Structures are given as C-alpha cells and as structure tokens.
Structure 1
Amino acid sequence: MDAAEQQKAAGNAAYKKRDFETALACYEKAIELNPNNMTFYTNMAAVHFEKKDYKKCVEVCEKAIEIGRENRADFKLIARAFTRIGNAYKKLEDWQNAKVFYEKSMSEHRTPEIKTLLSEVEKQLKEMERKAYIDPVKAEQEKEIGNSFFKKGDYATAMKHYTEAIKRNQDDPKLYSNRAACYTKLAAFDLGLKDCDKCVELDPKFIKGWIRKGKILQGMQQFSKALAAYQKALDIDTSNVEALEGYRTCSVAANSNPEEVRKRAMSDPDVQAILRDPAMRLILEQMQDDPQALQDHLKNPDIAAKIQKLLESGLIAIH
C-alpha cells in the first residue's frame, strides 16, 4: 500500500470513530501525496456531510467529479459523488437541486436506491407546487366562472373551471358538490359520486352533498343506497323538501318491482356474503317461524347490521 492509501486508511479508521478532524487531516495528506484519486475527495466530502457542513460537502464533491473526469475514474464513483451532492441538497431542503444531482447520478449508474431517493424528492417538489398553487381567492373566481357556464348549460366548460377551483382550494366541499352536478349532467355518474363522497368527507353536515349523492344514486337506479344518502340529509334537516321528495321517490321505486329488487340485491357482494353464511340462513328461517326471535338476534350488533343490510336491499321486510 502506498503512502497516500495509508493516509486514506487512517482517515477511514478515524471517520468510523467519528474523529472527523483527524479524518480530514488524513484525507488532506492523501490528496497532497496523490491529487489524482477522486476517492480521497469523496471521503473528505463524507466527513463534511457528517459534520452537517452540506455546502462544503457539495464543493468537495464537485472537485472530486472534476478530478474523476480528468483521470477517467469509474462511472460508479462519479455516480456516487453526484448522489452525495444530491443528499447534501436534500438535507438543505433544496429539492430542485437534489433532483438535478440524483438525475445526474442515475445517468452515470442506475441503482434502485437512487431511484427511490429521486422519487422521494419528486414527491416533495410536487407537494410544494401543490401548496404554492393554493389560492382561495382565485378558487372563488374560478367557481363563479364555472357557475356562469353551468347556468348556460355548458357543463363541460363549467366542469373545467370547477376542477381549476379545486386545485386552488382542495378543502372547500362546495367545489366538489358543484363539479358533481356537472358530472351528473354529463352522465359521468361514477365521477360525480366520487366528488360527492369527497364533499361529505370534508363536511359531513353539508346537506347539499348528501342530496346530490342521493340524486346520482337514484339516476344509477341504486335506490337502496340513494335512500341511505337521503336519510343522511334528513338527519341534518328533517324538513328538507328535496331530501323528503327523493326519499319518497326512492322508497316507491325500491319496492315497486320485487323481481328487480331481488336481482339488484343479489348482485351486491355484501348481500351475497350474508346469504352464504349458514348461521345467517338459520336466523332468517327462525325469523319466519318465530317473529320474537328477531328481537333476540337484533341484540347482537353484528347480526343487526347484516339484517339491516338485507332490509335496505329490499330482500326482507319486517311487518
């Protein structure tokens, strides 16, 4: 082992003991003896990283890359130096520079570890962009533009403005409710339903969200689910005309065609699972023979929930 390598080995030993001043002194001596070996510089940069002197770490890594390029160093060593610069910028929360140097590292030598680091940084940048974009005033402006297009019957354009409003303010339930109305008009019921769910998740007391959800489910002919949505609206306001009307209409529709009720219920995976359960089948038989048995079974919350599901689906009725 030559003198420069001996100094590097001594530096490594000191580094492991976290004796950073000795490690730096050893690496500096190694560089004096052989200024063309980039690993002496990257090791020195590792010390600066541990000392939390991230700017110095970047500076020394850049020198290491320069030396490495001049002396045709292995591309894996160059990649490692770029990664260390990326790590330093990550510690400084300079996500943009971290991304640049992780990408440079990947262009030299692709590894799963660097790909993971790059993904993390890209996630941070995306979140920063999202936060920077939030502007409730502009969200309100976009909503108003959306409303004017909605009134004109141009639902596709209204939807675009509501979407922009949501990007500007993701916590306003009214925006999701408005966009759900557009989706309903455009017959994109699944998307409308998703927006209704988000709307009532943000504000469970937002009655319009529940009514809109009920209307969409009604349009999809999922009357039992629509009933549940209208019921939520009525829990908030027992005298709401729209909710009452929707509830009545769905009650009639849900029970008007027994064959349709059965077919719809049997296509529900939850109903199928309940009816496949031997214990539940036994309970349902008992209920037919002995109505009093129902009261005993309803004391068990699990069984009560299953019976409620069958009632909602219209498969059974309690008289």
Structure 2
Amino acid sequence: MSADEFKKQGNAAFVAKDFSKAADFFSQAIEASETANHVLFSNRSACYTSLKKFREALEDAEKCVAINPTWSKGYGRVGAAHFGLGNLDDAEKGYKKALEIDPSNKPAQDGLDQVHRTQQARQQQPDLGFGQLFNDPNMIEKLKQNPKTAELMKDPQLVAKVLQFKSNPQAMGTEFLQDPRMMTIMAALLGIDLSMGGEGQPQEPASSAKEPEVAKSQSAPKETPKAAPAATEPSKSAAEEEPMEVDEPEQDSKAAAEASKAEGNKYYKSRQFDQAIEKYNGAWELHKDITYLNNRSAAEFEKGDYDQVIETLTEAVEQGREMRADYKIIAKSFARIGNAYVKKDDLKKAIEFYQRSLTEHRTPEILTKMRNTEKDLKTREVEAYIDPEKAEEARLEGKEYFTKGDWPNAVKAYTEMIKRAPEDARGYSNRAAVLAKLMSFPDAIKDCDMAISKDPNFVRAYIRKATAQIAVKDFAKAIETLDAARSKDAEVNNGANVREIDQLYVKASQQRFQPADSNETPEQAYSRAMQDPEVASIMQDPVMQSILSQAQQNPAALQEHMKNPDVFSKIQTLIAAGIIRTR
C-alpha cells in the first residue's frame, strides 16, 4: 500500500481510540513515504502521547519540527510531550513557539495555560522533603555505580521516571508507594541499607539516618504518606487537555487555500502572472490540491516559461498519484505538458503527453490536438526530407532499374524520388509505369491521378492511366481519360501524342463490347450491352428514347440529331455496343 493509504488507516484507528494500531499504521506510512513527511511524525507523536509514551512522542515531535520548522502544530506536539514528561519549562517553550508561528492555535494556548497552572501549583505545594535528594547533578551516575541500584538503572523507563521526579518532586509521593523499586532508589540516595536481617528482607531504618519529613515518631500513629494534590503534578497531560486528533487538512485551511486561489484567478485574468503564481503557491502550501499547481502552470505558460510549466505539472502528476487525485485533473496536467512541448517545438514529446492525457481521460479537444500535432509532425518530416538533387539521383537510378527490368528496385527508387520531390509529377507517373509492369493496375491508376493533380498538363500521365484502365476492363472510364488526354495534347503539345491516344481509343472501344461468341444473336448482344452502366444510362434517357423511336420510323432523322456532339457520342456508344446496327 501507499503512504497515503497507511495514513488513512491510521486516522481511522485513531478515531476509534485504538492508539497502538494507529501508531503502527503511521509507522508503515513513514516507511512507505518517498520523502520525510512532517504530518506523519506529528500523527504518530499524538498516538504516543495518548499511550503515555511521552519520550517516544517527544522524539517524533522533534522530527516533525525538524522537517517543517514553520508548522505551528509540530511545536504543540513538542509541548505536549514535554508536559507529559513533567518538563514544564520545555513544555512552555514548545507551546510558546507554536503560538509565535500561529497565534490562533487554540490547542497550543490551552496547553500553555495548563503548564502555567501546574507551575503555579508546584510553587504552592511542599515537595515532602524529596526535592533536596534529586538536586545532585551526578545522581544517575551514582545510582549506576551503587551495587543495590546498578541493575535497576538498566531500565530506561525507570531512569526517565527518576529524571521526571528531579523536575517534579511533588509527584514522588504516590510513586514511592506504588513502585517498590523507588523505595530501593530512595534508600540508596539516603544511605540506608535495606538488606539487614537477611537478603531481601526490609528493615526499619537506623535512628541516626536522615529521614524524609514524612516520617513520624514511633509513639505517634502511623500515617500513610499522602500523594500530592492532582494540581501539583502533570497527571493530566496536555494530551488529555488538548484533543489529540491527527493532522488532516482542516476546513479553515482549505477555505484559506480557495481564497488564495480566487485572488490568483483575479491576477491571472488581469495578466498579472507573477502575482497570480504567488497566490497559487500560497494555496498549494495551505492545502494540497493539484488544481492549484495546474493553475500555477497556466500563469507560467502565459509568461512563456515553458520549462517551468513542465516542472510544475510533473510535480502535479506525481503528487496527484500519491494523493489519488481525480484522473480527469491528472489528464489535464498531462495535456498542459503537451501544450508546453508544442510551444517548445518538440512535437514528438507533445504527442507523447497528449496520448498520456487521453489514457487518463479521453476528450474530443485533446484528441483533436493530438491529431493536428501528428499531422504537423508528419508534414515537417516530409518537408525536412525534400532534396531536389537527391530526387534526381533517385530518378536516374529508377530509370536504370526499369531498363534492366528490375521492377521492385525501380519502384523503390521512384518512391524515394517522390519523397525527395513530392511535387514532381514525373515521380508518380514513372512509378505508375513500373506498377503496370508488375500488374498492379489499381495502384498505377492512383499514381497517375497524383501525377495529374500535380501537373494537369502532363499528357503522359493521362495515357498511362487509360492504359491501366483498359487493363482492368474499365473501358468507359478509359475512353473518358483518353478524351481528356486528346484535349490536353492538342492544347500543350500540338497533338504530338494524338496517334497513340487514337490507338488506345480504338482498343478501348473494340474491347468494350467485343462479344465472347462470334455467333452471338442480337438478343444476346443487347443483353450483354445493357450490363454496361453507360449503355444502360443512355437507353434510360427519355430524350434518347425519343430519338431512337424517330429513327425507327425515319432513319434520316437520326442524321439530323447526330449534328449535336452529345447525341453523336451516345449514338457512337450504342453502335459500338451493337444496340444500333449499321448496314
């Protein structure tokens, strides 16, 4: 699981007051976090305080403020831990530091008030004579050297308790009775030997020994030492006075972040981008929502700082993944990175990030941007490859392969010519001639169309197209192509190619309606001819139906109608198809 998931489970356990479990979850969150997170240490400190593990709570609180020295709540945790340990002066410093950073920190103010009340109570209460015993600065070392207490001093919690009594002697009254180890320590400090009368058997202290003021004469009734009043010891820690909730984004911080964002938007609309960036930064610091980073990137984009845009949005994506942000917002971050790369003229990178955006959330806008960028990239690549000199080299190479009959290599050479000079009609026409040799007539027709689109006066392309159309038995279209070729040839070449064009025209016309059987009957010829789309169209034309009807009654009338070029062409088609027979 991620650090964020462990954190959420820790929060839930804390709310359920299962502080040990919550501490475990926060520990796992700390281990899983890629960078040190002050909030996680603060949360675990709160757990340890609730468990009365004040020394561990202090360690985590100090790590918290080391990571983020500007965070008020971290110093509040320091104050609470010191208060639990009985270190009132240090607790006071911690709470004051928290209030110095954030004067509105109510838990810190409550904790400070509790420290002051406890300090005042200590001054008003006697310390039962124990205070003097703990003033020796070498006390712990002496106890470690004493054979009676050396083993006890190996317990760090007991050592911590002794140090706590050094700062708060009033708390000693209760512990003296509750923990027999403290009696041994007290005896060692007073110089009393408790081993007289047999090992492990307690003995009344000698009359000459110095006793605490609570001891009474034997003639007086024995009186159990009373614990100091509750007000004199930190029995209620600041953790109990302060609601020790874990640190989650608070409504007030989110509201403040939104307010900062709103100000940033105003600056953005007025094109004051530096001020807008500052406000968006403030919003991000107050509340971790990657929308604020996306907004900041928009201002950086308008400034033209595209490298910074990419850096900001990369952070937005990384943080968004960790926080499980809405995939639509992450998609927007990726799309804006793509926009920045377009401005940097790195179209390949732009396409990459548009694709990432579409993977997160598919929108028509980004899909259109990606396709347009892909189109632009392809256009640039084609333009960058253009080289007239290399195109001419490829043309000559293709011609050589064509002469040798090496059709595949000829196709490769003419393809290279087309790439190097895409506006030269000769490349397409030459490749069409090779494709025709390879019997790839549909592709040859396409190349001829490209050649004609590049140079409408290129007669050779028309002739090669018609040849390919005849090969695929598309005779009607072949005749149309030849009609266009004849017109262009007369216009630009003074009819230089008219003989070749006429030969192809006759070939197309003859093959168009050539019967498969020489003994075909008129009925069979009519049925076959009507399968031709052009013939069928002519026969269904009402005008032509009227002309043919008149011709049956008066053949001379047909001659009159044929003076019309359009009618003449149609009559010639019907004659070729065998619909009209001449004697």
TM above 0.5, yes or no, is yes
Return the alpha-carbon distance in structure 2 between the equivalents of residues 91 and 292 of structure 1.
Answer: 72
Q: 1:243 aligns with which of 492, 496, 501?
A: 501
Match of 1:26 among 254, 279, 282: 279
Aligned pairs for 1:223-242 within 5 A:
223-235=475-487, 236=489, 237-240=494-497, 241-242=499-500
> What is aligned with 2:332?
80
Which residue identity does 1:281 align to in structure 2? Q
Decide whether the 8 Å contact of 1:254 with 1:261 is kept in 2: no
For residues 212 and 43 of structure 1, do their structure 2 counterparts lie closer, same or farther at Cα, with a shift above 3 Å needed?
A: same
1:161 aligns with 2:422: no
Give 1:142's match in structure 2, choosing from 389, 394, 399.
394
- What is the identity, as a one-letter code, of the residue corresponding to 1:246? L
* Contact 1:54 1:88 (C-alpha < 8 Å) held by counterparts: yes
Who is 2:264 aligned against? 11
Aligned to 2:367: 115
Gaps in structure 2 of 5+ consecutive residues: 1-250
Unaligned runs of 5+ in 1: 299-303
Tell me the alpha carbon deviations over residues 218-274 of structure 1, each in whole angstroms, 9 at most, x when there is no partner.
333444544444444444142434334434544555576597986676344455445
Q: Is the 8 A contact 1:274 1:306 kept in 2?
A: no
Structure 1 range deviating more: 22-31 or 198-207: 22-31
More helix by share: 1
Give 1:99's match in structure 2, choosing from 351, 355, 372: 351
Alignment-mate amino acid for residue 238 of structure 1:
G
1:174 and 1:261 mapped to 2: Cα distance?
A: 42
- 1:190 Cα deviation from its structure 2 partner: 1.7
Kindly state the Cα deviation for residue 22 of structure 1 after the two structures are TM-superposed: 5.2
- The letter for the 2-side match of 1:291 is L
Instruction: Give aligned-pair identity as a percent.
Output: 41
Amino acid across the alignment from 2:404? K
Of 291, 295, 307 in structure 2, the residue corresponding to residue 39 of structure 1 is 291
* Cα distance change of structure 1 residues 312 and 225 upon mapping to structure 2, 3 Å threshold: farther
Q: Does 1:210 align with 2:462?
A: yes
Amino acid paired to 1:180: A
Q: Distance in 1 between matches of 2:300 and 2:341?
A: 13
C-alpha separation between the residues in 2 aligned to 1:33 and 1:156? 68
Report SS of the residue matched to 1:127. Answer: helix
Q: Tell me how far 1:86 sits from its aligned partner.
A: 0.8
* Aligned counterparts of 1:261 and 1:227: Cα–Cα separation in 2: 21
Q: TM-score, normalised by structure 2?
A: 0.46
1:243-282 superposed matches below 5 A: 243-251=501-509, 253=511, 266-278=530-542, 280-282=544-546
Taking structure 1 as reference, are residues 71 and 137 closer, same or farther at Cα in structure 2, changes over 3 Å only? same
Deviation readout 1:248-307 (Å, 9 max, x if unpaired): 5445555765979866763444554454344553454356554377379x5xxxxx7587
Can you list the C-alpha shifts for 1:140-170, whole angstroms capped at 9, x where unaligned?
2222222222222222332222222222222
- Aligned-residue Cα RMSD (Å) equals 3.6
CA distance in structure 1 between the partners assigned to 2:292 and 2:511 by the alignment: 80
Give CA-to-partner distance per residue, 1:17-49, whole Å, 9 cap, x none.
666565434323323433x33221111212333
Separation in 2 of the partners of 1:195 and 1:83? 39
| Alpha-carbon distance in structure 1 between the residues aligned to 2:568 and 2:502 | 24
Q: Please tell me the residue identity of whatever aligns with 2:561.
A: L
1:173 CA drift (Å): 1.7
Structure 1 residues 310 and 76, CA, compared in 2 at 3 Å: closer, same or farther?
farther
Structure 1 residue 98, shift from structure 2 partner: 0.8
- The residue type paired with residue 403 of structure 2 is K
CA apart distance, 1:84: 1.0
> Partners in 2 of 1:252 and 1:71 — Cα distance?
78
C-alpha displacement of 1:83: 1.0
Q: Pick which of 16-25 and 170-179 moved more.
A: 16-25
The residue number in structure 1 matching 2:96 is none
Distance 1:11 1:124, change over 3 A: same
Write the distance in 2 (CA, Å) between the matches of 1:200 and 1:248. 23
Matched, 1:176 2:428: yes
Distance in 2 (CA, whole Å) between partners of 1:318 and 1:173 is 43
For 2:408, what is the secondary structure of its paired residue? helix
Instruction: Tell me if the contact between 2:476 and 2:534 (Cα under 8 Å) persists in the aligned partners.
Output: no
Find the aligned partners of 2:445 and 2:260 in 1 and give their Cα distance. Answer: 68
Corresponding pairs, count? 312
Q: Structure 1 residues 115 and 222, CA, compared in 2 at 3 Å: closer, same or farther?
A: closer
**Farther off after superposition, 165-174 or 9-18:** 9-18
Shift in alpha-carbon separation, 1:75–1:46, aligned structure 2, 3 A: same
Partner secondary structure for residue 73 of structure 1: coil
Normalising by structure 1, report the TM-score: 0.79
Aligned 8 A contact 1:199 1:209 in 2:
yes
Summarize deviations over 1:157-193 as a string: whole Å, max 9, x none.
3222222222222222222222111122122222222
Task: Mark the CA change 1:317 to 1:130 in structure 2 (over 3 Å): closer, same or farther.
Answer: farther
Matched, 1:63 2:320: no
Choose 1 or 2 for highest CA Rg: 2
Cα separation, 1, equivalents of 2:275 and 2:465: 69
Give 1:122 deviation, angstroms: 1.7
